[in-house]
Structure 1
Amino acid sequence: MIEPLPTPRLSRHRGVVLVGGQSPALVGRLADELAGPASRRLSTERERQPEPRPDLDPDLGPSPDPHTAVDTVHRLALDLAHDGAAVDIVASVEPGTPLRPTGLMLGALLDADLGLPDGRSLLQHVVSVVSAVDLAELVLGGVDDRFRAAEHVVELVEYATVVALADTDAVPAADRRTLERLLARLAPEAAVLPVDEVTRTSLATRGGAAHLGSAAGWMQALSEHTPDLAHDGTITTYVYRDERPFHPERLAAVVERTFAPGAVGTVLRSRGFTQFATRCDRVGSWSSVGQMLSLDPTSSPSWHPDSPHGQQIAFFGLDLDVATIRRELDSCLLSDAELLRDPAEWRDFVDPFPVWAAG
């Protein structure tokens, strides 16, 4: 008689918690707090980094490679499982590490190798430590020359199950209330807490990180099941959609004129997908934080059936003049006459935006 192999006791795995953020000291301290007596406390930093100095440009220097954190945590999880030990890891990642690709890669590897029988992901939580002072300055303060830093801070918020806010007392009460409402829109699935209030009990609900790939507020706003206009009393959310490509010269003029401070309210965050007539083979990424806008290529070809088509952009802001935003962006779309021209001729339109690297 052949004896069946024993079922692996995967249900006893607590899983993996990633802790990232801006400050090495706060990230490390919080990871220590979240690690229980049975947890393996892991740091993926190659070496202890000094605290950022306020007189240095935070946009200087390359971001840490997310593969470093992924490989370190994945290897430890496999070793623990191979030895018959429970996979219970709290890992702090080097500040500056982009959490979204780190979490997506790590979650996919863990699920492929050690996924739980009930379908839950072993990547249980992503905890982001964010300075409320930096967030207020970058999003509310009119900064226009720190896009990389702003994008990183907003990504920390949008790709998290728990947002741990530091320095909240240093932010004026009115700005703090605005940030609270904005964070509820940018990260609707996340718990937002002062960093000193984040404990192991904050992680009682397990498995939320499995859905982070589509949990960001802008991604939910772009869903066809979500209304294109919403207002919570503070933050207006508006989704602009159209299947036609933009004429880049007209778009550049509208961006300069319409999205200047106060022209259509205050756009705090916008994110989505765009398509230029001059670059109609590529899907572009539209991303703004406060006064800073970036238009970059994605890896998606526009002709692929699963790629977004035309314009799909979610705006989050204060007192937004939605009618003007719609009218101004409509004026950037190709006219009927332009659409009837040979698309090869579209490449001759004036395009003042930076050239995209070849995909």
Structure 2
Amino acid sequence: MVLTRVVGMDRSTEARDTARPPAPALRVALVSGLDSTERSRVSRMIAGVPAEDAPTSDITDETEDSAEFALVLAEHVLAAAHAGATGRTVIELDAEADVMEVGFVLETELEGRRNEGPPAELHDLVTVARVRDVHRWLLSAAPAPAVDFVTAESLASQLEFATVVVLADAADVSPGQLRSTVGLVQRLNPDAAVVTSVATARQPTGWPGGRGCARRLGRRMGWTRALAEPDLPAASWNGVDVLVFRDPRPFHPDRLFDSVRHRLVPDQVGRIARSRGLVQLATRPDHHGSWRSAGDTVSLDPTGIASWDPDAPIGQEMVFFGEHLDRDEIIAALHACLLTDDELLAGPTSWRRYGDPFPAWPLHHDH
């Protein structure tokens, strides 16, 4: 079940924007974050009303599918717009919601129905994060709880997919912690505004956002820019490094799995806070996998990208972000996972017999 709280839907905020051209009837700000107290505090500030005065309503749906829930959410937003709601409305997402999927689907649905009546648009994607959480789950070399495979990935995704990142406890942490957190956010999401004073959320004009913000973010996340723009500076940025790895050869899955466990770890290569990319396993040569790591968690999920697709990468394209990364050791560890010349010459029939400890992907059928 996904729970969403709508804050300030009944309040007009047009007075803030008198200097701008005529705006859509309803501008939506999606607010995500792990900490419900901080998330709610910032949501009410953005809505421009005191906590005790903010009109709120809860939207629940009996589904754990974020895309389906986004469609339900779109119906509520459009119904409010057609009923005369104006200005900015703030929608606070539950911590378990996939903000990227909700954002893309909600934006697409609102755009596709602009001609039905007073329009609404997704205008802002706001992530509320605590510096302490960023360090605990992504930057600290200390192991994360072994039973939690969700929190680190949720936090990293929220930081990547935001027009604005509000660091709620910035005033309560050390300058070093704040600097490395800001550096990581800037690496993961170069276009985001990083807000270190919660009080500024009371006047959110001038934040990067606007119509089409979800699509723009999807094209310009830090890892996609690192792959597309090889001239981006690789030097440490507020203490956070970036490393791009490319190679046309497939990975041997057993060796890659072993490397993740024993070589790509903090005491060997530095703290890899986040990595993203597209990878190809020798045992699954027909399709690329979506690689992502966040802190101590790693996932390799199927994509719809076939190896023969004209836009598919050849082999591996991976980007690593972290503190004090040992570039040579990371590259050496990954190179050791690639097929050797003899293995490559053996061909796909031989490759399919390799051990593959990664979770199986659903069978893909092309029609």
- After TM superposition, the score normalised by the length of structure 2 is 0.79
Query: What whole-Å deviation, never above 9, does each CA across 1:88-130 have from its counterpart, x for those lacking one?
Result: 4322222321100000001111112228xxxx99211011112
Kindly indicate whether the alpha-carbon contact (under 8 Å) linking 1:44 and 1:91 is maintained by their aligned counterparts in 2. no
Partner SS for 2:277: strand
Percent of aligned positions that are identical: 35
Q: After the TM superposition, which of the residue ranges 207-216 and 278-287 deviates more from structure 2?
A: 207-216
1:189 is the counterpart of 2:191: yes
- Equivalent pairs counted in the alignment come to 331
The 5-angstrom pairing of residues 249-260 of structure 1 reads: 249-260=254-265
Q: In 1, Cα distance between the equivalents of 2:362 and 2:111?
A: 33
What does residue 277 of structure 1 align with? 282
1:215 is the counterpart of 2:214: no
Q: Give the drift of 1:191.
A: 1.4
The 5-angstrom pairing of residues 1-359 of structure 1 reads: 11-13=23-25, 15-36=27-48, 43-46=57-60, 64-67=64-67, 69-83=69-83, 86=86, 88-114=88-114, 122-141=121-140, 142-144=142-144, 145=146, 146-194=148-196, 196-205=198-207, 206-207=209-210, 208-227=213-232, 229-232=234-237, 234-359=239-364
Q: In 2, Cα distance between the equivalents of 1:280 and 1:317?
A: 29
Kindly indicate whether the alpha-carbon contact (under 8 Å) linking 1:18 and 1:93 is maintained by their aligned counterparts in 2. yes
* Cα RMSD (Å): 3.0
Partner SS for 1:211: helix
Q: Give the drift of 1:41.
A: 6.1
Kindly indicate whether the alpha-carbon contact (under 8 Å) linking 1:129 and 1:195 is maintained by their aligned counterparts in 2. no
Kindly indicate whether the alpha-carbon contact (under 8 Å) linking 1:270 and 1:314 is maintained by their aligned counterparts in 2. yes
Q: Give the drift of 1:344.
A: 1.8
Q: Give the drift of 1:209.
A: 4.0
Kindly indicate whether the alpha-carbon contact (under 8 Å) linking 2:279 and 2:288 is maintained by their aligned counterparts in 1. yes
Quick one: which amino acid aligns to residue 206 of structure 2? A
Kindly indicate whether the alpha-carbon contact (under 8 Å) linking 1:44 and 1:72 is maintained by their aligned counterparts in 2. no
Assess, with a 3 A threshold, how the Cα gap between structure 1 residues 20 and 257 changes in structure 2: closer, same or farther.
closer
Q: In 1, Cα distance between the equivalents of 2:76 and 2:179?
A: 41
What does residue 10 of structure 2 align with? none
Q: In 1, Cα distance between the equivalents of 2:120 and 2:234?
A: 33
Q: Give the drift of 1:195.
A: 6.0
Kindly indicate whether the alpha-carbon contact (under 8 Å) linking 2:131 and 2:169 is maintained by their aligned counterparts in 1. yes
Kindly indicate whether the alpha-carbon contact (under 8 Å) linking 1:237 and 1:317 is maintained by their aligned counterparts in 2. yes
Q: In 2, Cα distance between the equivalents of 1:121 and 1:343?
A: 51
Query: What whole-Å deviation, never above 9, does each CA across 1:42-83 have from its counterpart, x for those lacking one?
Result: 655439xxxxxxxxxxxxxx9953246523432234335545
Partner SS for 2:346: coil
Query: What whole-Å deviation, never above 9, does each CA across 1:122-147 have from its counterpart, x for those lacking one?
Result: 21101111222222111122234233
Q: Which runs of 5+ in 1 are unaligned?
A: 1-8, 48-61
Partner SS for 1:189: coil
Assess, with a 3 A threshold, how the Cα gap between structure 1 residues 328 and 220 changes in structure 2: closer, same or farther.
same
Assess, with a 3 A threshold, how the Cα gap between structure 1 residues 342 and 112 changes in structure 2: closer, same or farther.
same
Q: In 2, Cα distance between the equivalents of 1:259 and 1:63?
A: 36
- After TM superposition, the score normalised by the length of structure 1 is 0.81
Q: Give the drift of 1:313.
A: 0.7
Assess, with a 3 A threshold, how the Cα gap between structure 1 residues 198 and 280 changes in structure 2: closer, same or farther.
farther
What does residue 4 of structure 1 align with? none
Assess, with a 3 A threshold, how the Cα gap between structure 1 residues 63 and 224 changes in structure 2: closer, same or farther.
farther
Quick one: which amino acid aligns to residue 189 of structure 1? D
Q: Which runs of 5+ in 2 are unaligned?
A: 1-20
Q: Give the drift of 1:157.
A: 0.7
Kindly indicate whether the alpha-carbon contact (under 8 Å) linking 2:81 and 2:120 is maintained by their aligned counterparts in 1. no
Partner SS for 2:269: coil
Q: In 2, Cα distance between the equivalents of 1:148 and 1:315?
A: 19
